[in-house]
Amino acid sequence: MPEGGQEWLFFFVRAKRRRAVAVAVAMPSNGEVKYLVLADRAVPYLLARVRWPDVAQAVSAASPGWLDDSGLFDLPYNPNAVTVSFTQAASVAAGCGRQLHAEPAEGVPVYLRRMPANWSDLSPSERRNWGIEFVGRRRSPLHRGGRRRPLTARAAAPAVAQANGPGALAGQQATAGGRGGVAPERRSGKRVRIGGRAHIRSDGTTISAGLVDLSASGAGCVLPDEPQRVTPGATLGGPFLLEAETGAWRICLDVTGQISWRRSAGADTHFGIAFAELAEGETEGLRRFLAAAQGKGR
């Protein structure tokens, strides 16, 4: 089956499971490793790499050694899991203190678990195994699209600080220039200046750009060239893996985006991204990410 067919099969199964239809299907193998992330309030706490039938490994922030777990073969069909690119996965691995290589690790410890795996309701043994003992067992409320938000993982996520005050994301007007001039852009949240990187996945590729500013409504980025994909109106499928320049702060926003503007400044290309509506947990995680990156409340 071609690669496009495999992706279609994956989303078809997920849609069926949302309707509580039992579907037993073996993950097709195309020789490529799939990378997935579990996050709490958009902060990644588990990174997995899966390739049926021979690769099922994961690493967490609290347990930074790779472990082999056959239950990870179920993770691509879990609605909480976010599929990321190799570049995004490498950033998450770096946050866990590991370097991600293209080939799976050899001779890693094996976790003997209960089957079938249920990544939405981890057992005490599973939580201890991944170093996330304080993950709650209650199910999270539904958000848009009927998906469940990830379980709380206070112990595994970095201890980022709460943003100060309700005005942290106050509204403002901003302008952005295109090639032909300056056009107004309405923003629902104040853009906070922040240095870092934005790893943006879209159409099977990843754009790694400099992160200039960020809010709940979008981000401003810069690239040292003029990529064809960065054109006003272009849709970015996501997810967005953002990392702050200072500290080990990372956040994974599982939303789509759209290029809202672009302008050239010398050899650099500046562009703006308008996010789709964030889930409640993602908005909270973004506030904490910005506060931590700016060194507030720590």
Give me the phi and psi of 17, to 5 degrees please. -70, -30
Largest distance between two CA atoms of the chain: 61
- Alpha carbons 147 and 143: distance in angstroms, whole number: 6
For residue 247, what is the domain's CATH number? Answer: 2.40.10.220
298 belongs to a structural domain = no
Region of poorest pLDDT, from 94-103, 133-142, 147-156, 263-272: 147-156
Over residues 259-264, mean pLDDT: 95
Q: Return the amino acid letter for 98.
A: R
DSSP classification of residue 131: T
Range of the domain at 90: 3-146
Amino acid 247: pLDDT:
72
Q: Report residue 259 CA to chain centroid gap.
A: 19
158 belongs to a structural domain = no
Same domain, 116 and 213: no
pLDDT, tens digit, 9 for 90 and up, residues 182-193: 333 444 568 899
pLDDT bin (cut points 50, 70, 90) of residue 202 is: confident
Same domain, 178 and 100: no
The bridge status of strand 218-223 relative to strand 268-275 is: antiparallel
139 belongs to a structural domain = yes
Same domain, 172 and 285: yes
pLDDT bin (cut points 50, 70, 90) of residue 117 is: confident
156 belongs to a structural domain = no
Amino acid 296: pLDDT:
67
- Alpha carbons 59 and 9: distance in angstroms, whole number: 27
Q: What percent of the chain has pLDDT over 90?
A: 47
Region of poorest pLDDT, from 63-77, 109-123, 205-219, 239-253: 109-123
Task: Give yes or no for a contact between 198 and 209, defined as CB atoms under 8 angstroms apart.
Answer: yes
Same domain, 195 and 84: no
Counting the structural domains of the chain, the total is 2
Going by C-alpha positions, the residue among 10, 77, 90 that lies closest to residue 47 is 90
Task: Give yes or no for a contact between 282 and 255, defined as CB atoms under 8 angstroms apart.
Answer: yes
Same domain, 124 and 229: no
pLDDT, tens digit, 9 for 90 and up, residues 45-87: 999 999 999 999 999 988 778 999 999 999 999 999 999 999 9
pLDDT bin (cut points 50, 70, 90) of residue 30 is: low
Amino acid 241: pLDDT:
98
Domain-terminating residue out of 116, 146, 176: 146
Domain-terminating residue out of 146, 177, 194: 146
Q: Report residue 190 CA to chain centroid gap.
A: 22
Q: Which residue has the higher pLDDT, 147 or 42?
A: 42
54 belongs to a structural domain = yes
Over residues 256-278, mean pLDDT: 95
Amino acid 185: pLDDT:
44
Same domain, 273 and 197: yes
Amino acid 25: pLDDT:
33
Residue 236 has pLDDT above 90, yes or no: yes
Amino acid 295: pLDDT:
78
Helices (H), the chain: 3-18, 86-95, 124-129, 280-293
Residue 33 has pLDDT above 60, yes or no: yes
Same domain, 284 and 231: yes
Same domain, 170 and 142: no
Token pair listed for 4: 């496009």
Same domain, 260 and 173: yes
pTM of the complete model: 0.72
Same domain, 64 and 106: yes
Residue 219 has pLDDT above 60, yes or no: yes
- Alpha carbons 260 and 56: distance in angstroms, whole number: 39
Compute the mean pLDDT over every residue in the chain, rounded to the nearest whole number. Answer: 75
67 belongs to a structural domain = yes
160 belongs to a structural domain = no
Residue 126 has pLDDT above 60, yes or no: yes
Amino acid 152: pLDDT:
36
Handedness of CA 11, 208, 195, 185 (dihedral sign): negative
Token pair listed for 107: 């001779």
Domain-terminating residue out of 87, 118, 146: 146
154 belongs to a structural domain = no
Same domain, 177 and 275: yes
Same domain, 240 and 269: yes
- Alpha carbons 110 and 144: distance in angstroms, whole number: 36
